[in-house]
Structure formats: C-alpha cells, structure tokens
Structure 1
Amino acid sequence: MIERWLLPAGADRVVLPLLVGKALRAFADGYVAVLLPAYLLALGFGTLDVGLLSTATLLGSAFATLAVGAWGHRFHHRRLLLGAALLMLGTGLSFASLSSFWPLLLVAFVGTLNPSSGDVSVFLPLEHARLAESSHGAARTDLFARYSLLGALFAALGALASGVPQLLVAATGVGQLTAFRVMFAFYGLVGGVVWLLYRRLPAPERELEVSAPQPLGESKGIVVRLALLFSLDSFAGGLAINALMALWLFQRFDLSLLAAGSFFFWAGLLSAVSQLVAPKVAERIGLVNTMVFTHIPASVCLIVAAFVPHLELTFALLFVRALLSQMDVPVRSAFVMEVVTPAERAAAASFTAVPRSLASAISPTIGGALFAAGWLAAPLVACGVLKIGYDLMLWKAFRHHGK
C-alpha cells in the first residue's frame, strides 16, 4: 500500500530507498535549520556568526556538488551516496561535540548541514539522476513531485521536533546546551540509518545502466543558461533561509523555540501539499508557467510580511508564501531532466545545483550582517524583489519549453 502511494505508475521500485532516505534526511534538516541559530547563540556567538556558518554549509555543499558533476561519472552512484551518508554521520557527531567557532566552521564547510528550506546537499544530484532514469514523461514529473513532497512533509515534522530541546530541559533537568547537542547527535544517527538504507541500492556489478553517465556536452548551452538563472533565485533565497527566518522571528517578535518550531511545521506542511498539486498544475499550464506563476505571488507575500507589525498577519502571509513558493521544486527538477540527454542527467543536476549553492552561500552572511545592523526588513525585501526578477527572466527565456 505504502509502496503503491510512493511510486507512480511506470516508476521502477529500485528508487524506494532513495525516497525513504530523502524523508529521513529532510526530517533531520527540518529541525537543524531551526535549532542551528539557537544553538550558536547559546554557544555565545552573534548573529553575524550565524550567517557565516550558514554560508560555510552552503559553500561546502556547492564544492561537493561541483566535484560530483566533474568527476562523479567515474564512480557508481551507490558508492557516492554511501559516502555522503557517512559524511552526514560525522557532521552530526562533530557538531554535537564541538564548541569553538573555527572547528564548527570547518565542519560546516565539509559536512552536510542544511540551514535552508530546500535540499542543497551533495545527495541531490545523485538522487535526481537516479530518479530520472527510473521513469519517463508524466511519470517522471509525478515521481519528482513525490520525492519533493516527502522532503517537504518530513522537513515540516522535523521543524516541529525543534521544540524537543525545551521539552528535554523541562522533563529531565539537563542544560539547554546539552539538549541541543543531543539533537545534533541524533542528526548523525539519521546519517547512519541512511547509510544502511542505501546499502540496499543495486551494486554496480548487478545493475545494467541504461545510459552510462557522461560529462556535459550536447546539453551544455541550456544547462549554463538554467544555472545562471537558478543562481539568481538561490542568491535571493539565501537571504531568507529557514535559519535566518527563525532568527528574524526570534528578534522581531521574541518568538519562543517551541512557537517557531510550530510555525515551520505548518509552513512545511503547506509546502508539502503544494508539491503534491504541482504535477497536476504543470500538466494543465506547462512546467515553466507553473514555476513562474506560483513563485511571483509568494515573493509578494514575503515582501509585505517584512513590514506587517502583527504576528498573526505575518504568519498568514508567510503561510501563503509557503503554499506557493515551493511548488516549482519538483517541476524544476523534472524540467532540467527533460531538456538534457539521459547520459548527461547527473552532470546537469550537479552543474545546475552548484551555482545555486554558491550563490545561496553568499547571501546568509549578508542577511546576518543586515540583521546585526538592525535592518530586519531588508533581507526579506531583497529576497522577494530578486526572486520576482528571476521569475520574469525565466519565463521570457523558456516560456516555449516544457509545455
């Protein structure tokens, strides 16, 4: 029954471990994005430090993804995914045991922490290429939608779990810092479970690949154009990643950790619902139109929320944004896989992800600096304006594709 729901008709069941692994990773990412700023503040760091560490995580992910795009075709995806899972295990255990800024910065750079609302890790291009191989046409868009839906749904549950440290403190009397460390150790444990899960993927000698992975060639031009546009979108998104949005809520409304976790849970739940609807919308109006015409209203809501003085109205606007802003995620993934040759899919996924990660890596530091200067509305407004500009350029360049 569960397998039937996870896999659309026409998709290969070999990708089931990837879907379950995505859910587990999203759960861990969901609470880490909310806890990271609170943990760093509890360690005595400032808002600029939060931005710097967030930048380091995204920058490290970008370089790792670039390596996968440049050299990943030389290795089977199973080996790379198993290595990434072990890196996740080490990241969680290191963050749970370290307290100094520079060691944490190093682990943030080489590790797998994700302070944003979307998946920007090295797992992404490897899983995307495998998902694309296992389905075709409408089934591919549907499969990517379910993959993204699982990510959004379990990230929402993870955000709700960000209140666990306060519950641990109240129930056991342990210090808040210790409770935070427990959650990061659990993040590492999730990485270990994902490693066990990915061991079930077909080994190279038992799998006949339909099209051997190759570096970019025939599809290079369109991939470069998409990568440049996606990088603008990601730079804008980096100004309002979940870690910074949590920090904004803490500073502007003095929100508690439990209340912030509840907000991100409901926002994530709305994002999950929207991604389930995305394939049906794309089927009616086209892939590119779905990306653009859902994104622009979401950006307008973010800009208005930056100035609203009442928490309830702010939440309402951010919930509308959550319902619309992530609808493009599965559609964008399916679009990239559709416009490149099968052999170039892994490289295309990497090279469209790398500029996005690099661009989004810069902006959290800028956002943290603006917060530190007292300009709380500036990062949200800049994010919304830049995203609208991206949407208009994407529609102009690709409105005749993916219909």
Structure 2
Amino acid sequence: MSLPAPTSPDPADMRRILWARGMRAFGDGFAAILLPLHLSSLGFAPIAVGAISTAALLGSSLLALGLGAVGHRVRRRPALLAASILMVGSGFGFAVIDDFWPLLLIAFVGTLSPTGGDVGVFLPLEHTVLTQSVPAEQRTAAFARYSFVGSVIGAVGALAAGAVDWLAPVATPRMVTDTLFLLYGALGVASFMLYRGLSARAEAPGHALPAPLGPSRRRVYGLAALFALDSFGGGFVVNSLLALWLSERFGLDIATVGTIFFATSLCSAVSYFAAVPLAARFGLVNTMVFTHLPSSVFLILVAFAPDATFAFGLLVLRALLSQMDVPTRSSYVMAVVEPRERPAAASVTAVPRGLAAAVSPLISGWLMGLSPFGWPLILAGGLKITYDLLLLRAFSAVRPPEEAAVPAPKGGLRNTGSR
C-alpha cells in the first residue's frame, strides 16, 4: 500500500536544516583543502597525511553505517545534537593538537571530510528530517535546495581557504589554519543551536521511534548496490585525478583547471533546480536515468577531445546533466520506504557509495601512469551507463505515492509502496 504523507509538516524545520547544511558545507569546503596543508606544516610525511585522511573517510562511513544499524533506538534531534558536538571537537582538536595518534583518533571519530563533500552521520539524519518537513509533492524541490546550498556554499568555503595566502603579510600559515579550524568548531556550535530548535515533527510520525530496515530491506539493499556501482565509476574521475589528467593531456596550468572546475560546479548547482519540474513531469527514476545517461556519454567523449576547449565544452555539458540525480535520488529513497525506516535507509544507501568511491581512484591513478589516454574516463562512463540501465530495469515501476496515479509501465517491479 502507499505511504501516508507526513502530518502537519513544519517549514521551520526545513529552514533550520538548510542553514545547518550551508554552515557545514562552508566548513567542509575550506577544511578539505587545509587538512593536508596543516598536517604537512606539522611535519607529517605524506603517508601520515594519507592515513589521517583515510581514517576520516573510514570513520565517517562506519558512523553512518552504525546509525543505520541502531538508529531505531535514538531520536533524530538528539542524534543531530551529538553529531554537532563531534563537529566541535573535530575543529578544536585539529586546531590545538599536534601529535599524530591523537589526530588520527579525532579524524576517525570526528566529522572532518578530506573530500569536501558531506559524509557521515549528518546526511541520513538531515534527509529524514527534511522529508518530514515538507509535503510529499514538495519533497524533490526541498532536496534540490538542500543540494544547491551544499554545492554553492561549499565552493565559497573552498575559496575561503585562500586566506592562508591573503593573510600571509600579517599572519603565518599555521596561525591562519588554526583559526579556520577553530571556525569549523564554531560552526558546529552554531549547528547545535539550530538543531535544538527542531520541532517534535522532526521525529518519526506518531511519536514512534525510528525503526531498522524491515519491509523495505530488499529494496534498500538493491538501491545501495546500484548506488555503489555508480560511485565506483565516479571514483575514477574524482576532481583531483581529473585535474591531473587535464593538466597532463592538454598542458593546462592550475589556474585554468581551477576555472574549469568552478564553471562546472556552478552548472551542476543550477541543474539541481531543473530536476524538480522534470521529476514532476516524468517521474523520479526516469529523471535520474535519462539525465544521467547522456552525461556519462559526454564523459566518455572527453577522453577523445582533440583540445582543451572541446574538453571544457563536454565537461560543461556533463555538469549540466550529471547532478540532476542527486536531489531526485535522495527524494526517491525517502519516498519508497516507511517513514520510520528513513534514517536506516539513508545510511545504508549512503555508506556503500563512500566505500566504493575509495577504491577506484587507486585504479585510475595506475591507468594514468600507464597511458596518457583517458581510460579512466571511459571506464567511469561505462560503469555509470551500466548503473543507469540496471536502475531503470529494476526500479522503473517502483514509484513514490505521489506518482501512483500514473499508469505503471509493463514489466519490472510493481509499485507496492512501502508496505
């Protein structure tokens, strides 16, 4: 049967989540850039820097996975408050501690993200609260705003890392990085205050505790496996490796590469809102697949680009389409499970993406060492196309309640809601 819409959604909860997302994105933006610089200034060898970065990614993934396993025993507001405290400790710890082992531990249990993206325990909890703060027909638009805020303000945060150079005449790099890590901790305090104001409607409907995966378990595991395949493909073209390939293939300097990424990031941010009317017209799964497919084709064509200008044009075209599945994917996961299962579902579908994306960069780097040709781009595009086709085949008929009135296509899975 179809899921009931959340009763009496509170728009104030959505505003609080968006503010918190923006502040955290700003902190993640500069922290990801400053982390290796800060650790190197402490005299750590590259292998130690890599170990702390890996600990941060692994710890965040395991924390999110743990939330999926035991999240039914805790309420969402207290869990977000606890996560904010971890954010405060992460920032203050990196600002005042210089020894390797304590920093490794802080990275593992804290919230710093070396990728600049939002990982860890915040994401599944905020997705759950955001879903219940708006009516079902506004859910995808809410996730588009959520993704837009994170993308744009995260880019601004990355620019803020330039303060190390801007303030060089009056402050040492160590003073600036310590100050910015303290700012990261202060953003955690501000997030704590925002989460304190969440209403009782942020919890599971009917005053019930969230539940582990139950009736939706098979569906969620299937989505998690497909999302992991997509992320495995995306790991071949993470920004750092794509920047290296562009520099070596076309002889571009760092400033030019940075301009390319800034332009493509803006295109991606704008595309989040274009996904909303498309999803309303064609459905969430169709929007995910039929915007993602051509973007993967553009990615493959970049490998054959004859010059930097042509490659830039293809990357822009890809950026205009490749991220439309971000808000639609989040909206879809929240829609096809029971409300009480949402924290677990968001965690289980998020963690494999992070773990899968951590493997492919090693293969991509190895391939780039063998040949200057864009084999990583071709592999990434091919894997993503495979993901799209499998997603369409398995879930084209598993539709959210608001799409239930539209006749289901023949074949595939029946739309049985989230029984």
TM-score range for the pair, normalised by the shorter chain length: 0.7 to 0.9
Structure 1 pair 370/59, CA: closer, same or farther in 2 (3 Å)? farther
- Give the match for residue 3 of structure 1: none
- Give the match for residue 237 of structure 2: 240
Structure 1 pair 380/114, CA: closer, same or farther in 2 (3 Å)? farther
Q: How much has 1:279 moved relative to structure 2?
A: 0.9
Once residues 179 and 151 of structure 1 are traced to their aligned partners in structure 2, the CA distance between those partners, rounded to angstroms, is 24
Q: Give the counterpart letter for 1:25 in structure 2.
A: R
- Give the match for residue 5 of structure 1: none
Is 2:205–2:339's contact at 8 Å kept on the other side of the alignment?
no
Is 1:215–1:347's contact at 8 Å kept on the other side of the alignment?
yes
- Give the match for residue 20 of structure 2: 21
The answer to whether residue 200 in structure 2 is matched with residue 199 in structure 1 is no
1:348-359 superposed matches below 5 A: 348-359=345-356
1:34-73 superposed matches below 5 A: 34-36=33-35, 53-73=52-72
Once residues 49 and 345 of structure 2 are traced to their aligned partners in structure 1, the CA distance between those partners, rounded to angstroms, is 31
Is 2:303–2:374's contact at 8 Å kept on the other side of the alignment?
yes
Q: Deviations over 1:328-382 (max 9, x none)?
A: 1110111111111122111111111122222223334545566677868454443
Of 107-116 and 79-88, deviating more is 107-116
Once residues 216 and 203 of structure 2 are traced to their aligned partners in structure 1, the CA distance between those partners, rounded to angstroms, is 26
The answer to whether residue 137 in structure 2 is matched with residue 141 in structure 1 is no
- Give the match for residue 4 of structure 2: none
Q: How much has 1:81 moved relative to structure 2?
A: 0.8
3-state secondary structure, aligned to 2:232: helix
Q: Deviations over 1:196-248 (max 9, x none)?
A: 222222369x9784362111111111111111101111222233334554565
Instruction: Name which one, 1 or 2, has greater alpha-carbon Rg.
Output: 2
Is 2:75–2:203's contact at 8 Å kept on the other side of the alignment?
no
Once residues 249 and 175 of structure 1 are traced to their aligned partners in structure 2, the CA distance between those partners, rounded to angstroms, is 32
Q: How much has 1:65 moved relative to structure 2?
A: 0.7
Of 22-31 and 271-280, deviating more is 22-31
Structure 1 pair 43/358, CA: closer, same or farther in 2 (3 Å)? same
Structure 1 pair 294/282, CA: closer, same or farther in 2 (3 Å)? same
Q: Give the counterpart letter for 1:23 in structure 2.
A: G
Is 2:298–2:314's contact at 8 Å kept on the other side of the alignment?
yes
3-state secondary structure, aligned to 1:120: coil
1:169-208 superposed matches below 5 A: 169=168, 171-172=169-170, 174-176=171-173, 178-202=175-199
The answer to whether residue 225 in structure 2 is matched with residue 228 in structure 1 is yes
- Give the match for residue 380 of structure 2: 383
Once residues 97 and 372 of structure 2 are traced to their aligned partners in structure 1, the CA distance between those partners, rounded to angstroms, is 31
Q: RMSD of the TM alignment (CA)?
A: 3.4
The answer to whether residue 315 in structure 2 is matched with residue 318 in structure 1 is yes
The answer to whether residue 290 in structure 2 is matched with residue 287 in structure 1 is no
3-state secondary structure, aligned to 2:118: coil
- Give the match for residue 90 of structure 2: 91
- Give the match for residue 165 of structure 1: 164
- Give the match for residue 4 of structure 1: none
Larger relative helix fraction: 1
The alignment's TM-score, normalised by the length of structure 1, stands at 0.83
Aligned residues: 391
Is 2:39–2:49's contact at 8 Å kept on the other side of the alignment?
yes
Gaps of 5+ in 2: 1-7, 404-419
Identity %: 49
Q: Give the counterpart letter for 2:194 in structure 1.
A: L
Once residues 308 and 328 of structure 1 are traced to their aligned partners in structure 2, the CA distance between those partners, rounded to angstroms, is 25
3-state secondary structure, aligned to 1:81: helix
Of 159-168 and 15-24, deviating more is 159-168
- Give the match for residue 206 of structure 2: 210
Structure 1 pair 304/78, CA: closer, same or farther in 2 (3 Å)? same
Gaps of 5+ in 1: 1-8
Structure 1 pair 149/306, CA: closer, same or farther in 2 (3 Å)? same
Is 1:145–1:276's contact at 8 Å kept on the other side of the alignment?
yes
Is 2:61–2:351's contact at 8 Å kept on the other side of the alignment?
yes
3-state secondary structure, aligned to 1:210: helix
The alignment's TM-score, normalised by the length of structure 2, stands at 0.80
Structure 1 pair 251/272, CA: closer, same or farther in 2 (3 Å)? same
- Give the match for residue 124 of structure 1: 123
Q: How much has 1:47 moved relative to structure 2?
A: 7.3
Is 2:13–2:130's contact at 8 Å kept on the other side of the alignment?
no
Once residues 310 and 49 of structure 1 are traced to their aligned partners in structure 2, the CA distance between those partners, rounded to angstroms, is 38
Q: How much has 1:162 moved relative to structure 2?
A: 3.5
Q: Deviations over 1:70-115 (max 9, x none)?
A: 1122111111111111212222333345566665544333222224
Structure 1 pair 42/373, CA: closer, same or farther in 2 (3 Å)? farther
Is 1:51–1:368's contact at 8 Å kept on the other side of the alignment?
no
Of 260-269 and 150-159, deviating more is 260-269
Once residues 139 and 38 of structure 1 are traced to their aligned partners in structure 2, the CA distance between those partners, rounded to angstroms, is 42
Once residues 162 and 267 of structure 2 are traced to their aligned partners in structure 1, the CA distance between those partners, rounded to angstroms, is 19
Is 2:337–2:345's contact at 8 Å kept on the other side of the alignment?
yes
Structure 1 pair 70/128, CA: closer, same or farther in 2 (3 Å)? same
1:392 to 385, 389, 393: 389
Q: How much has 1:319 moved relative to structure 2?
A: 2.9
- Give the match for residue 31 of structure 2: 32
Once residues 94 and 186 of structure 2 are traced to their aligned partners in structure 1, the CA distance between those partners, rounded to angstroms, is 12
